[in-house]
Amino acid sequence: MIEIKSLTKRFYGLTAIDNVSTSIETGKITAIIGPNGAGKSTFFNLIAGTYAPSSGEVIFEGGNIAGLKPDAVAKLGIARTFQTTHLFENATVFDNLIVGHKVRTNSNFIDVILNTQQLKDDEKKCREKAREVLDFVGLSAIAHRNASDISQEERKRIAFALALATDPKIMLLDEPTGGVNFEETFDLMELIRKIVKSGITVCLIEHKMNVIMTIADRVIVLSNGTKIAEGTPKEVQKDASVLEAYLGMDHAAI
């Protein structure tokens, strides 16, 4: 689905992503792993349009999207979540989710001023989509609760729902199980599988190795901005360069 070609990102004198080439396969769960500071979030930001690359290409459905703005990338069908889910805390969960589908609507500032039928139709579509994704992630029961009153696990589900509301073809999930307990982690893993079964490709950044080993079809390993390994979870787990990056030379030699 996405082909990465010689992707590089430099911030002044620092090379955060260094000539990375890889791919994200349609219908699979691809995991991006690596030590802290490996460049994982920067890699996501380059795909999602938050950063423009210094060089290289991001090929999505045959076209190079490197350098496009985030809204343009989202309209193409790439949705992205973040490690921390920022919501309108004084608004309801439902009202927070109405925003997600606006990328698929056509009304503009003039429609707002004139309160046109186009605006009314778009608002109806956004509300319908909000109900749909809330039901999909299992949060219909808290639709009218304030966002400030929900748990960390519920915030993670809302992040998924916001991404789903954009009608994505692929979802980039940044630490989707971070900050939740074992049981909640398992439930979120089941939700990720449900997303893939619905026809959406998933690529995720994750630090919990038990999650990676259980859920991922393919793993891409970054270290110091460079791809050092990729393959199945079992293949990557045994790779000497991966062991060295995580544990140091002494452990890699064992």
pLDDT (0 to 100) of residue 247: 60
Q: Which amino acid is at 164?
A: L
Domains and CATH numbers, the chain: 1-77+169-254 (3.40.50.300), 85-167 (3.40.50.300)
86 vs 26: which has the higher pLDDT: 26
The beta strand positions in 53-122, using DSSP E, are 55-60, 63-64, 78-80
Q: Shortest CA distance to 180 belongs to which of 138, 209, 152, 212?
A: 152
140-189, pLDDT tens digit by residue? 999 999 999 999 999 999 999 999 999 999 999 999 998 899 999 999 99
Distance CA 201, CA 78 (A): 10
Separation CA 22–CA 4 (nearest Å): 5
pTM confidence score: 0.89
DSSP β-ladder status, 29-33 and 201-205: parallel
pLDDT in tens, 116-130: 887 787 788 888 999
> CA 189 to CA 201: how far, in whole Å?
14
Phi/psi-derived region of residue 49, left when phi > 0, alpha when psi is between -120 and 50, beta in every other case: left
Q: Over the range 5-30, which residues count as b (16 or more CB within 10 Å of their CB) and which as e?
A: bebbbeeeeebbbbebebbbeeeebb
Q: Which residue has the higher pLDDT, 245 or 26?
A: 26
- The chain-wide mean pLDDT, for the chain, equals 90
Residue 248: its pLDDT value, please?
A: 61
| Token representation of residue 29 | 């769960």
